Amino acid sequence: MKFLDVKTDYAFKKVFGSSQSHDILKSFLNAVIRFNHDLKIKSLEIVDPYNIPMIKGMKDSFVDVKAKLEDDSLVIIEMQVLNHQGFEKRVLYNAAKNYSVQLNQTDDYHLLNPVIALSIVDFNMFEESSRVISNFKLIEKDNFIHYSDDIELIFIELPKFNKEIEALETLQDKWIYFIKNAGKLDFVPNNIDKDIKIALGIANEANLSSEELELQRKRKEFIYIQKSSVELAKEKGYQVGRQEGHKEGLEEGREEGWKKGKTEGVELGEVIMQTNIVLKAHKAGMTVPEISNITGLNEAAVLAIIKKNI
């Protein structure tokens, strides 16, 4: 028995964003989000993440799943495997955009409904914290007075979750374990919730067509290429940094030269990484807006890289 790796965008949308996902998504959100006054989701509407009103001139962006709650609050959910420059700003931008596009010019501001941006990331974002889930809201920074709960950012950092299946206690544990490890399982565990078993049924490769399996294979391959590009770029950057640091060190002193070379090497590594990802994504058939979204580069920069190297 084999299951899809839910960390890929295709599998994530299939499990949490399909017509049969209402109970699954409700269970997941109730487990990972602390709603005001201990509110639990009674009902929700899964909405098409691409079918949203746009303001002329506003930058487009993509999320994996959107859910509208019973009180008209909106939860936008994204699975992100690879960190990139500007990712934190993109999360905030997506939340702010989804908040602002609710109103027409003649609408009153009190009609605005809260937006929760839930980002599940397969990398460490906040090195200073060991918490798996981090919540951010607008508060006064000295006395922690709440300004508004209308925009909330929630991050789930999968690498920080290290519980084995026998140690799972809460429903939150079980959902995070499912997202992190579904692609490695070869059986349906007994100690998980019924909705997670249903999610595993959706992710069971035996229930998928050959076209769906091929699409999933391509997405996993692209993620592997992305990660490999990052590691290669870092290694090349550090090598150049060490070489330049050594040269500079002969003239300026070893310590200062090493610092300068390392900094320049890391910057060069970032350029190499971004270039490799853009070219691999273009070869895989992704559009310029999609490549812009995963790299954090603007569309003009993406096009420039493609034209220069193709």
Question: Which residues, 6 or more positions from 217, have their beta carbon under 8 angstroms from its beta carbon?
Answer: none
Per-residue confidence (pLDDT) for residue 45, from 0 to 100? 82
Residue 123: φ, ψ to 5° = -155, 165
Q: Quick check: 260 and 245 in contact, CB under 8 A?
A: yes
- The amino acid occupying position 78 is E
Whether the predicted model's global pTM rises above the 0.85 cut: no
Find the distance separating the first CA and the last CA of the chain, reported in whole Å.
41
Per-residue confidence (pLDDT) for residue 258, from 0 to 100? 46
- Between 283 and 163, whose confidence is greater? 163
- Between 266 and 199, whose confidence is greater? 199
Q: Quick check: 23 and 17 in contact, CB under 8 A?
A: no
Please compute the mean of the pLDDT values over residues 224-246 and round it to a whole number. Answer: 55
d(CA 194, CA 16): 15
pLDDT in tens, 100-119: 888 877 788 888 999 999 99
Let me know if 207 is exposed, middle or buried by CB neighbors in 10 A (0-12, 13-18, 19+): exposed
Let me know if 210 is exposed, middle or buried by CB neighbors in 10 A (0-12, 13-18, 19+): exposed
pLDDT in tens, 54-79: 444 444 445 678 888 888 889 999 98
Supply the mean pLDDT for the chain. Answer: 79
pLDDT in tens, 239-285: 555 555 545 555 555 555 445 444 445 455 566 777 877 887 787 77
What's the helix, strand, coil split of the chain in %, to 5?
A: 55, 15, 35
pLDDT in tens, 128-152: 999 999 999 988 989 888 888 899 9
Token readout for 132 is 């798996």
Question: Which residues, 6 or more positions from 13, have their beta carbon under 8 angstroms from its beta carbon?
Answer: 64, 65
- The amino acid occupying position 120 is I
Per-residue confidence (pLDDT) for residue 222, from 0 to 100? 64
Listed by start position, the domains of the chain span: 9-208, 211-309
d(CA 249, CA 233): 23
